[in-house]
Amino acid sequence: MKELKMYSSEYIMNTPMKPIEYCVDGLISQGLFILAGAPKVGKSWLALDMCLSIAKGEKVLGKETSCGHVVYLSLEDSLIRLQNRLYELTDDPSDNLHFAIMAESISNGLPEQIEYCRKRFDDLKIVVIDTLQKVRNESESSYSSDYKELSVLKSLADKLGIAIVLVHHTRKCSDGDPFNMISGSTGLSGCVDGSMVLIESKRGSRKAKLYCVGRDIENQEINVVFEMVLSISL
């Protein structure tokens, strides 16, 4: 039997610990996150704007960012679509922002690909996977299968000291609790360090609310307005 490795309360309280690092202040820390929303609601635009802001060290949604390298796995897009979206957001490209339009699945090489990115960019801050479904292996959704599959990415984010954000879909049915609308079982929400759900106030209004919850962030609701450049309305 392998003995448990235990820590006394005195050790935990008196030992200097490395503070939690955020790539988006108070919103996205090191760890695994879900960004969910209905199809065409603008979650990919929001994810791209976050990535561009982190790559440039600029504010996003009114929050400070930690500048560094960013990898965006845009697995449902072509290069021409990415080009068009980037021109909608900026005229100034960043050497810190890198894209891939193909990647392996979670159980067939994706963790190794992300580890390679971390070795290539020693200041890698965040990897966005758009969408989660493109890298999944499980065809059926249950608490155990969802939790087990995402645990691989959770452990990887912790090991590498980066944030991994999974762009995902919500269910069609509405719910008083936005986080209950995340597609799949509660194993997804149970595994990740934080969840963000983007809900449009009215279809086509280009106004939405981002609901955020997490282990190391405060519960918050952020009003988002989609313009040529994403902005925040407090």
pLDDT tens digits, residue range 103-129?
Answer: 999 999 999 999 999 999 999 999 999
In a domain, 8, yes or no: no
In a domain, 13, yes or no: no
Cα separation of 176 and 146, whole Å? Answer: 23
pLDDT tens digits, residue range 159-177?
Answer: 999 999 999 999 888 888 9
Q: Which stretches of the chain are assigned E, i.e. beta strand? A: 22-24, 28-29, 31-37, 69-74, 97-100, 124-130, 163-169, 194-200, 207-214, 220-225, 231-233
In a domain, 35, yes or no: yes
- Tokens representing 8 are 């006394």
In a domain, 10, yes or no: no
pLDDT tens digits, residue range 174-222?
Answer: 888 999 999 999 999 999 999 999 999 877 778 899 999 999 999 999 9
User: How many domains does the chain fold into?
Assistant: 1
Report pLDDT for 203.
78
Report pLDDT for 228.
55
User: What residues contact 13, with CB distance under 8 A and at least 6 apart?
Assistant: none
Greater model confidence, 226 or 35: 35
In a domain, 113, yes or no: yes
In a domain, 2, yes or no: no
Which pTM does this prediction carry?
A: 0.93
Report pLDDT for 36.
97
Expressed as residue numbers, the domain containing 158 is 20-233
In a domain, 14, yes or no: no
CATH no. for residue 145? Answer: 3.40.50.300
In a domain, 9, yes or no: no
